[in-house]
Every structure is written in structure tokens, then in C-alpha cells.
Amino acid sequence: MMRKLWPHARPYGKWIAAGVICSALEAVFELLIPLVMSDIVDIGIKNGDQSYILQMGGLMVAMAMVSLAFGLGAAVFSSVAGQGFGANLRRAEYDRIQEFAFSNIEKFSTASLVTRLTNDVNAMQMTLMMGMRLLVRAPVMLVSALVLSIRISYQLSSVFLVAMPLLLVAVLAILTRVGPLFRSLQEKTDALNLVVQENLAGIRVVKSFVREEHEKQKFEKRNHDLRDTSLKAFGTVVVNMPIMMLIVYGTIIAVMWFGGRMVFAGTLEAGKLMTYFTYITQIMMSLMMVSMIFMMLSRSVACARRIVEVLDEQPAITDGAAVTDVNSQGVRTPAAVRDGSIDFDHVSFKYNAESPEWILQDISLHIPSGATVGILGGTGSAKTTLVSLIPRLYEADHGTVSVGGRPVREYTMEHLRDAVSVVLQKNTLFSGTIRENLLWGDPNATEEELWSACRAACADEFLKRMPDGLDTDLGQGGVNVSGGQKQRLCIARAILKKPRVLILDDSTSAVDTATDARIRRAFAAELKDATKLIIAQRVASVCEADMILVMDGGRIAARGTHRELMETCEIYRDVYRSQQEGVSIGG
Ligand SMILES: Nc1ncnc2c1ncn2[C@@H]1O[C@H](COP(=O)(O)OP(=O)(O)O)[C@@H](O)[C@H]1O
Ligand SMILES: [Mg+2]
């Protein structure tokens, strides 16, 4: 795991080294101070030599200042290294997530990815920052204080033989308990973030169904869960403190007892005993630090593992199988999508490899380039799934999906998705102006091209009424436009790509019937060569199509023109009649 994370810290190697050196020097100077003090007592005070006392006192102050300066240096260097490491980790994770296919993201859940990118990285950078200082300071202090105190009196130092094993056992006992608790702590954080994220993303639905109370309770439950786990984890950690203190004070009392008797017996000087106490405190403090480091490490191991999981995740869909074409000049270029023909050859698909049921089952289909295809079917009949395979948002498990006569995986994602434009059922606009959003389709589009796309999508009428026109600010996720307006902007954005295949997944559901018809007419005129796949609820939206597919339970139940289906397909006739009635009743 260290091997995976180290490359992200390496650019800060110099800072880490500087921090480590400063921490070590800080500790050394702190250790030298008691030695000077011992001389003041045993030489200066004993001989009543005032100038010696002043001199040594001055030395002590100077050493304290130097130690302070190194301490400051260590703090600065470790902060720079820690923050830089954190930033690098976040960027690496984010880059990796951008490569993920939908199936990768679904595996982690969005909320967990957010936690792994923020919370977990924070823990890691804290560990590096604190670890750099403590990990150096504690051993340096421990070893040197131990050596110095043994030099003062090896007899007294035998108390460590009792104290140290006790401490070790206590720390180990606590560590084995908190490890799993910390792991579960991160999972509870994921769970909490999931609720918050879902709630905020769907706040309009929550409000319109008056589900605030229910959402609050859901949040409360996760919140309590997180609190309880935190309490348990940190509660276990703090038990560390009293146990340590008990052992520290026990040791001090033992040293006082034995040391005092040695002073009375004349085998130890009083100043030496004083210095000895300072070292004991330092030894015990560093032991506490070491145990704190271990606590911290056991938390960051949990976090590091989660970060490495993201970094190690292999994107499910890659350009690995993309082929190159040789053009007339003999230059190799990535295969381009020649035309808009679409072929499904015995395609089966399921989202979850473990689930026994296929979502799409043995679909075979040929759509000639430039055709208009309507797709009807009840919710859950896998209409969306069917079209998702064309721009390779998901990968077929069996069979091949081809566009322009070539299997989709032989194109680079960039080329394929440039040629296949999808207006998804759940569509998103991003914060920024309408113009910025439309330019996603074609960054170099001229003003005229923008307006022509808007005309084709029937978005021009409401855009003209907006005070700032194309430069109207959309607000977060496009909250400033109505559902139907949003759909039309998404269609315009898709048209701007000048795609070979245009897929509309129920994209005019929030648009009135008349506008819907006008959009379809505009398509026929402006996107003559593009293959158009239109998923719709209304038969009226697809009845003029060259071919209509009726989906049912992951299969194509019937296919043909409106006229053919009216004659042969009972489901189609029923749907058509029910919708006709709706129209006549509605007036
Ligand atoms: N991301 C997903 N993960 C797992 N199952 C899914 C996912 N999306 C859709 N499904 C399942 O696939 C089936 C078909 O869904 P979908 O293609 O969206 O149907 P439609 O668009 O016709 O309403 C449904 O049973 C649905 O539960
Ligand atoms: Mg759908």
C-alpha cells in the first residue's frame, strides 16, 4: 500500500526530509537542556558560583530558542508536505474517477467516492503531517533519553524493565480493538454522505412529497450510527491515556522512592536525580506519542486502503481494443464512425454479473443509416438499457453492438461518443450560462449554429423571451429553466455535435404535443443523414418512424411500421387506442 501511495508524496520528498531533520534537531536540543540544568545544580549552586549559574542559564535560554526554531521549521515543512500530498492524492483519485465507466461508479456509490476523495484524503494528510514530526521525535527522544538516564544511574533505570512491557501490552490491547472500529467508522461516514447527497440531489421531490420528516429520520439514524461508532472508536483510544498515566506515575513514584534513598545514602547527587526525572517524563511522553502514532496509523490504514481501492479500480470500459485505419497517405488514424447504421448481433446484457436474470436478452437488430426508429415499451422493459449500449455507456455481455459496420469497442471512446449523441432520460445541465452548456456539444460553434440548433430543438422561442438570451445563467444543475425547457436545451446540445446517431430517451416527455411534433419535423429536415432513435411514451411521437420497436421484458416483442404493427401487434393496438381515447376525452 505504501508503494501505491508513495509516488504521490515523492514530489514533496525534500520537504519531508527537511521536516524530519528539523524534528530530530528539535528533540536533540530539548534533551540537552536538562543536562545543563543538572550542571547548574550540581556545580553552580553547590559551589555558590553565581556567574557560572548565569552563564549556564543563558546557554539554556539559547538552546531553548534554537529548539523552538527547529520546531517551527518542522511544523512548516510538514504542513507543506502534508497538504501537497493530500492535493496530489485527490488529483490522482479524481483523474481515475473520470476514467470510470458507469458500472465502476455504481460499484463504489457516488457518496463513497466523495468521502474517499475528501475525508479519507484529509486523514492521510494529517497522518503524514503529524507522523513526520512524531515518528521522528518520539524514537529520538526515547532512545536518547533512555541512554542518558542509564548513564546517570543504571540501577534506577531498572524500573523501565517493569514499566515498558506493561506499556507495550496496554498499547497492543487497545490497537487490536480500534483497527476494525476505524474501518467501520469510514463506512458509516459513507452511509451518512449517501443520505445527504441523495437528499440534496432530489430536494424538489422530497419537498413535493412532503418527505422531509422521513428524510430527517433517515439522516438521524445514520447520524447516530456514526456518532456511536465514533464514540466507541475514540472511547477506546482515550482509555489509552489513563492507562499510560497510571504507568507513568507509577514509574515516577518508584524512581522517587529508590532515587531518594540513593540521594540519602550519598550514591546519587540531587541535581542528577532532578535531571533523571526530566528524562523519565520525556521517555514516558515519547512512549505515549508512539502509541498515539499507532492509533493514528490504524485509522489511516483504513483510509489508505479505501483510497488505493479507487486508484486500483480498473475502468470497465477502455480504449484497449480500439483499432486504427490507414488512410490514403499511409498515416494511421483511430477508426472513425463511417455512417449511422446500427447492428445488434445476439446481444445480451445484465448490470450485475451475479444476478440470474438478463436485462436484455438475445437482441438482434439492424438499423440502416439515416433511419428514424421509434422505441416503445413499458417502464422497466429495458429501452434505456438498449440504447445505452450504442455509445458504449455499458458493455454487452454477449454478442456485438456495431455502429457504422464496426463493433463499438473498436472505436476510441472519444470518436464513438462524438458520433453518437445521447439525450439521456435523466438529463443534466451544469451551472453556468446556457451558451456554456450548449458549447459542450461543439466548442467551436458559431452564433448562427447555436441558434439553428436551438431552432431545431424548439428552444429558440423561450430563449428569445429571456432577457439575457443565450447568456442567461442557469444556476446549479439548471434550476432556472422548466423541465420542458431543460429537455429542449439538452436536445439542442446534442444536435450541435452533428452526430451520426442521435438518441432521444424520452426526451420530450415534458414538452407539449405540438412542440414535440415540431421538434420531430425539424429533425427530419435538419438531421437528414443522422440515424434517429426516439424512445417515447406517446405513440404519436413515433408513428411516422421508419421502424418502431416494441420492447417487453428485455426483448423486442414486435417491430415494423405503424401500419404493420396496427395489423399484427396486439399490445401496440391497445396502447394506441388507449392514447387515442385520452386525446379525445381530453379534448
Ligand atoms: N444502473 C442500473 N443498475 C442495475 N439495474 C438497472 C440499472 N438501470 C436499470 N436497471 C434495471 O434494468 C431494467 C431495465 O431498465 P431500463 O432500461 O431503465 O428500462 P426502461 O428505460 O424501459 O424504463 C429495470 O428492471 C431496471 O431495474
Ligand atoms: Mg428508461
- Between the CA of 428 and the centroid of ligand 1 the distance, in Å, is 19
Kindly state whether residues 538 and 455 are assigned to the same domain: yes
| pLDDT at 582 > cutoff 60 | no
- Between the CA of 385 and the centroid of ligand 1 the distance, in Å, is 6
Ligand 1 pocket by C-beta < 6 Å: which residues? 106, 351, 359, 377, 379-385
pLDDT at residue 99 in the model:
92
pLDDT at residue 526 in the model:
82
Query: Is 325 contained in some domain?
Result: no
Choosing from 312, 328, 358, the residue where a domain stops is: 312
Kindly state whether residues 306 and 374 are assigned to the same domain: no
| pLDDT at 288 > cutoff 80 | no
Mean pLDDT over residues 448-468, rounded? 90
Query: Is 335 contained in some domain?
Result: no
Neighbours of 557 (CB within 10 A): 16
Kindly state whether residues 305 and 448 are assigned to the same domain: no
Query: Is 331 contained in some domain?
Result: no
| pLDDT at 201 > cutoff 90 | no
Predicted structure pTM score = 0.75
Kindly state whether residues 261 and 357 are assigned to the same domain: no
Report the interhelical angle of 50-99 vs 110-117 (nearest 10°). Answer: 150
Residue type, 448: E
Mean pLDDT over residues 415-420, rounded? 92
| pLDDT at 417 > cutoff 50 | yes
**Mean pLDDT: which of 146-155, 266-275, 359-368, 455-464 is highest?**
359-368
| pLDDT at 555 > cutoff 90 | yes
Atom 26 of ligand 1: nearest residue by CA position: 380
Among the atoms of ligand 1, which is closest to the Cα of residue 554?
14
Among the atoms of ligand 1, which is closest to the Cα of residue 535?
21
Atom 27 of ligand 1: nearest residue by CA position: 380
Q: Are 507 and 421 in contact (CB under 8 A)?
A: no
pLDDT at residue 359 in the model:
95
Kindly state whether residues 281 and 355 are assigned to the same domain: no
Among the atoms of ligand 1, which is closest to the Cα of residue 385?
17
- Between the CA of 426 and the centroid of ligand 2 the distance, in Å, is 9
Which residues fall inside 5 Å of ion ligand 2, going by CB? 384, 425
Atom 5 of ligand 1: nearest residue by CA position: 351
Choosing from 312, 329, 353, the residue where a domain stops is: 312
pLDDT in tens, 18-63: 999 999 999 888 888 888 888 888 888 888 888 888 998 999 999 9
* Ligand 1 pocket mutation pick from 351, 376, 555 by most atoms within 8 angstroms of CB: 351
Rounded to whole angstroms, how far apart are CA atoms 92 and 4? 11
Query: Is 461 contained in some domain?
Result: yes
- Residue 497's region, left for phi above 0, alpha for psi from -120 to 50, else beta, is alpha
Q: Are 566 and 572 in contact (CB under 8 A)?
A: yes
Among the atoms of ligand 1, which is closest to the Cα of residue 388?
17
pLDDT in tens, 370-393: 999 999 988 889 999 999 999 999
The CATH number of the domain holding residue 431 is 3.40.50.300
Query: Is 320 contained in some domain?
Result: no
Kindly state whether residues 450 and 303 are assigned to the same domain: no
Kindly state whether residues 304 and 382 are assigned to the same domain: no
CB-neighbour burial class of residue 321 (10 A; exposed 0-12, middle 13-18, buried 19+): exposed
pLDDT at residue 543 in the model:
86
pLDDT at residue 212 in the model:
87
pLDDT in tens, 244-286: 788 888 888 888 898 889 889 988 888 888 888 888 888 878 8
Domains identified in the chain, total number = 2
* Ligand 1 pocket mutation pick from 102, 384, 427, 534 by most atoms within 8 angstroms of CB: 384
Query: Is 330 contained in some domain?
Result: no
Kindly state whether residues 409 and 492 are assigned to the same domain: yes
Mean pLDDT over residues 65-82, rounded? 93
Kindly state whether residues 12 and 147 are assigned to the same domain: yes
Atom 14 of ligand 1: nearest residue by CA position: 382
Among the atoms of ligand 1, which is closest to the Cα of residue 106?
1
Q: Are 502 and 531 in contact (CB under 8 A)?
A: yes
Query: Is 494 contained in some domain?
Result: yes
Ligand nearest to the CA of 550: 1
Query: Is 440 contained in some domain?
Result: yes
Residue-range definition of the domain harbouring residue 496: 342-586
Rounded to whole angstroms, how far apart are CA atoms 74 and 133? 7
Atom 3 of ligand 1: nearest residue by CA position: 351
Ligand nearest to the CA of 385: 1
Atom 18 of ligand 1: nearest residue by CA position: 384
- Between the CA of 215 and the centroid of ligand 2 the distance, in Å, is 26
Kindly state whether residues 294 and 392 are assigned to the same domain: no
Among the atoms of ligand 1, which is closest to the Cα of residue 379?
23
Q: Are 342 and 365 in contact (CB under 8 A)?
A: yes
- Between the CA of 379 and the centroid of ligand 2 the distance, in Å, is 7
Among the atoms of ligand 1, which is closest to the Cα of residue 378?
22
Q: Which three cell numbers stand for residue 548?
A: 418502431
- Residue 414's region, left for phi above 0, alpha for psi from -120 to 50, else beta, is alpha
Atom 6 of ligand 1: nearest residue by CA position: 351
| pLDDT at 585 > cutoff 50 | no
Kindly state whether residues 131 and 170 are assigned to the same domain: yes
The CATH number of the domain holding residue 236 is 1.20.1560.10
Rounded to whole angstroms, how far apart are CA atoms 87 and 117? 10
Among the atoms of ligand 1, which is closest to the Cα of residue 551?
22
Choosing from 273, 294, 312, the residue where a domain stops is: 312
Report in angstroms the alpha-carbon separations of 97 from 32, 94, 311: 51, 5, 8
Q: Are 374 and 508 in contact (CB under 8 A)?
A: no
pLDDT in tens, 213-244: 888 999 999 999 999 999 998 888 888 778 87
First to last CA, the chain: 68
Ligand nearest to the CA of 381: 1
Residue 400 β-bridge partners: 345
Rounded to whole angstroms, how far apart are CA atoms 557 and 377? 9
Any idea which of 65-69, 300-304, 580-584 has the lowest mean pLDDT?
580-584
Ligand nearest to the CA of 358: 1
Q: DSSP states of 169-232 as a string? A: HHHHHHHHHHHHHHHHHHHHHHHHHHHHHHHHHTHHHHHHTT-HHHHHHHHHHHHHHHHHHHHH
- Between the CA of 112 and the centroid of ligand 1 the distance, in Å, is 22
- Between the CA of 388 and the centroid of ligand 2 the distance, in Å, is 10
| pLDDT at 587 > cutoff 60 | no
Any idea which of 265-269, 284-288, 309-313, 501-505 has the lowest mean pLDDT?
284-288
Q: 102: Cβ–Cβ under 8 A, 6 or more apart, which residues?
A: 393, 394
pLDDT in tens, 530-543: 999 999 988 888 88
pLDDT at residue 275 in the model:
83
- Between the CA of 111 and the centroid of ligand 1 the distance, in Å, is 21
Handedness of CA 90, 96, 99, 101 (dihedral sign): negative
| pLDDT at 586 > cutoff 50 | no
Please provide the average confidence, as pLDDT, over all residues in the chain.
Answer: 88
- Between the CA of 367 and the centroid of ligand 2 the distance, in Å, is 20
| pLDDT at 142 > cutoff 70 | yes
Kindly state whether residues 203 and 160 are assigned to the same domain: yes
Handedness of CA 132, 135, 137, 140 (dihedral sign): negative
Q: Please give the backbone phi and psi of residue 325, each rounded to the nearest 5 degrees, phi first.
A: -105, 150
Among the atoms of ligand 1, which is closest to the Cα of residue 102?
1
Atom 17 of ligand 1: nearest residue by CA position: 382
- Between the CA of 536 and the centroid of ligand 2 the distance, in Å, is 9
Residue 347 β-bridge partners: 363
